[in-house]
Amino acid sequence: MPLTNQSLPTVPDGLHVDDLTLDPSGLLLLARTTAAQAFCLHCGHTSSRVHSRYWRTLLDLP
């Protein structure tokens, strides 16, 4: 069932939220992209292979 509470953060298109955890230190969203391919930020070529995994924060969004 989709979450509809207006106080929850909006999830950008192209992301799927796998887990949502609220604790005293803040809100943790475990999410992944739904895109089959992505552009390399360095060379601009597309790839469907996962090159790395790392933590992002909301401040990383454009």
Q: So where are the chain's domains?
A: 1-54
Residues 18, 29: Cα–Cα separation, whole Å: 8
Q: Which two tokens stand for residue 56?
A: 């992002």
Supply the pLDDT for residue 55: 76
Residues 38, 10: Cα–Cα separation, whole Å: 22
Q: Would you say 20 and 2 are in contact if contact means Cβ atoms under 8 Å apart?
A: no
CA 3 from chain center: how many Å? 16
**pLDDT tens sequence across 17-59:** 888 898 888 888 788 888 888 887 778 888 888 777 777 777 7
Name the pTM for this structure.
Answer: 0.52
